[in-house]
């Protein structure tokens, strides 16, 4: 089994690679990443440090948005069984400031990967979509067939990705499984995300930023649970196109999240309040009944347990993370 994982040096990708190597003897993994400067390349190098000595791990430094399918195919001559496409420019607010860059990476980059799958007659393609595609929608919890009203460029590119996958599935028989991730956290979490930012600020004694009154809420999903869903999607073969929520079916307010982090760290946060930010949705909340039915998905990690595991990882690696 040879698996191609884009964005493999990032948070979710590196956790997926670790789990694949732990549970699958003989699996070969090609990891594509361009160390996008959205956050430090040192952290991404750290994420994949343990894989580099594994002869079944191959790292390819390239920008998928600028590398056509033919070039990719030449760089990876071996048969590829599955593509897991996680690479993307992330972040709602930056996408509003620089929409063209997000269009280039998140849509053209996906197009190149789908062309690679088409040229190589590949069957299985798993795509990392996002809960942000739902936009502002009070029909909680969100089902996959809800009307979608994205309110950021990032969300729009993810919705475009889902539809692009549908086109390739219909035209070329590629099985395309789009997984809508809901606020993934845990060891390795990106430094721009709330749990990581808040933990770092509290430990350093810096103020944390609260946008709005703290009532916004998110469906926080522990990374091991998300990885479980990805692994199941890689094996799914009952249809050729599906869109599936991977959340925790539980939502928590920003204010309550801060309190939970304070309790885990044992130190109070200093909070600075700012107005709500453009592109942020007030609530995310996943209906995961489809994931349970099709993938056997069953998230196990409660928020407090997940926060403790994240904090343990952070403390173990604080020399790197507190820079």
Q: Locate 103 and state its tokens.
A: 């269009």
Triad 309, 310, 315: Cα angle to 5°: 100
Q: Which residues of the chain have pLDDT under 70?
A: none
- The Cα 177–Cα 271 span in angstroms is 40
- Whether residue 210 is contained in a domain is answered as no
- Whether residue 202 is contained in a domain is answered as no
The domain that holds 170 is classified in CATH as: 3.40.50.720
**pLDDT of 50:** 95
**pLDDT of 24:** 81
Catalytic pick among 102, 134, 154, 311: 154
**pLDDT of 137:** 87
The alpha carbon dihedral of 146, 148, 151, 152 has a sign of positive
- Whether residue 271 is contained in a domain is answered as no
- Whether residue 133 is contained in a domain is answered as yes
- Whether residue 267 is contained in a domain is answered as no
CA 241 to chain CA centroid, nearest Å = 20
- Whether residue 197 is contained in a domain is answered as no
Nearest to 231 by CA among 86, 28, 87, 20: 20
Please name the helix (run of DSSP H) or strand (run of DSSP E) that holds residue 195, with its range, or none.
Answer: helix 194-204
Count how many domains the chain has.
1
- Whether residue 150 is contained in a domain is answered as yes
The alpha carbon dihedral of 132, 252, 302, 141 has a sign of negative
Query: How many CA within 13 A on the CB side of residue 144?
Result: 19
Instruction: Report the DSSP beta bridge partners of residue 2.
Output: 28
Burial class of residue 26, CB neighbours in 10 A (0-12, 13-18, 19+):
exposed
Catalytic residue list contains 154? yes
- The Cα 129–Cα 119 span in angstroms is 23
**pLDDT of 277:** 83
**pLDDT of 172:** 96
Which domain does 50 fall in, by range? 2-185+222-249+285-299
As a dihedral over the C-alpha atoms of residue 92, residue 227, residue 85, residue 101, rounded to 10 degrees, the angle is 20
- The Cα 223–Cα 60 span in angstroms is 24
Q: Locate 258 and state its tokens.
A: 């801060």
**pLDDT of 266:** 96
Give the residue carrying structure tokens 């995961």: 288
- Whether residue 214 is contained in a domain is answered as no
Distinct helix (H) and strand (E) counts, the chain: 13, 13
Q: Pairing between strand 221-222 and 28-33?
A: unpaired
């Amino acid at each position: 089994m040879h698996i191609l994982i884009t964005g493999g040096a990032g948070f979710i990708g590196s956790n997926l690679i670790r789990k694949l190597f732990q549970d699958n003897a003989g699996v070969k993994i090609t990891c594509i990443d361009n160390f996008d400067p959205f956050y430090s390349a040192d952290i991404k190098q750290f994420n994949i440090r343990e894989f580099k000595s594994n002869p079944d791990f191959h790292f390819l430094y390239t920008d998928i948005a600028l590398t056509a399918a033919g070039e990719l195919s030449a760089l990876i001559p071996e048969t590829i069984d599955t593509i897991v496409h996680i690479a993307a420019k992330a972040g709602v607010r930056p996408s509003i400031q620089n929409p063209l860059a997000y269009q280039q990476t998140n849509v053209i980059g996906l197009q190149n990967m789908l062309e690679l799958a088409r040229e190589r007659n590949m069957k299985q393609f798993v795509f990392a979509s996002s809960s942000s595609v739902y936009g502002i929608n009070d029909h909680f919890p969100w089902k996959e067939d809800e009307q979608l009203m994205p309110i950021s460029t990032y969300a729009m590119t993810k919705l475009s990705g889902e539809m692009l996958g549908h086109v390739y599935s219909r035209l070329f028989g590629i099985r395309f499984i789009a997984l809508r991730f809901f606020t993934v956290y845990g060891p390795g979490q990106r430094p721009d995300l709330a749990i990581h930012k808040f933990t770092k600020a509290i430990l350093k004694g810096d103020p944390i930023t609260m946008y709005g009154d703290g009532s916004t809420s998110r469906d926080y999903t522990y990374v091991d649970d998300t990885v479980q869903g990805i692994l199941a999607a890689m094996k799914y073969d009952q249809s050729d196109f599906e869109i599936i929520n991977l959340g925790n079916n539980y939502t928590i307010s920003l204010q309550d999240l801060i309190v939970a982090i304070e309790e885990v760290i044992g130190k109070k946060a200093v909070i600075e309040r700012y107005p709500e930010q453009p592109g942020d949705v007030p609530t995310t909340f996943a209906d995961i009944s489809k994931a349970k039915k099709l993938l056997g998905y069953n998230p196990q990690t409660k928020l407090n347990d997940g926060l403790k595991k994240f904090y343990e990882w952070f403390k173990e690696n604080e020399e790197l993370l507190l820079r």
